[in-house]
A = this chain, B = another copy of it.
Amino acid sequence: MAGTMTVKLETRNQHRCFDGVQSYYQHHSEIIGLPMRFSVYEPPQVQEAGGQRLPVLFFLAGLTCTEETFMIKAGAQRYAAELGLILVSMDTSPRNTGIPGEADDWEFGTGAGFYLDATESPWSRYFHMESYVTRELYDIILDRFPVDPERVGIFGHSMGGHGALTLALRHPGHYRSVSAFAPIAAPTQCLWGQKAFSRYLGESPANWRKHDATALIESGCRLPIPLIDQGLNDPFLKDQLHPGYFEAACQQAGQSVILRRHAGYDHSYFFISTFIEDHLRHHYTWLTSNGQ
Interface residues of A (CB under 8 A from B): 15-19, 22, 72-73, 75, 77-78, 231, 233, 262, 264-266, 268-271, 273-274
A17 lies within 8 A of B75 (CB)? no
Contacting residues, chain B, for A262 (C-beta < 8 A): 16
This chain's copy number in the assembly: 2
- The secondary structure that dominates the A interface is mixed
The chain B residue sitting closest to A76, CB to CB, is B75
Q: How far is the CB of A178 from chain B (nearest CB, A)?
A: 24
Given A72-B72, A72-B73, A73-B73, A271–B16 Cβ distance below 8 Å? yes
Are the C-beta atoms of B78 and A16 separated by less than 8 Å? no
CB-based contact B15/A268 at 8 Å: yes
Partner of A18, one of B19, B77, B233, B274: B274
The CA-CA distance from A34 to B273 in the complex, in Å, is 33
**CA–CA, A265 and B233, complex, Å:** 38
Asked if A16 and B273 make an inter-chain contact with CB atoms under 8 angstroms apart, the answer reads: no
> How many angstroms from the CA of A73 to the CA of B71 in the assembled complex?
9
Q: Decide: A266 and B15 in contact? CB cutoff 8 A.
A: yes
Contact of A264 among B16, B77, B78, B270 (CB under 8 A): B16
Question: Which residues from B are CB-within-8-Å of A72?
Answer: 72-73, 269
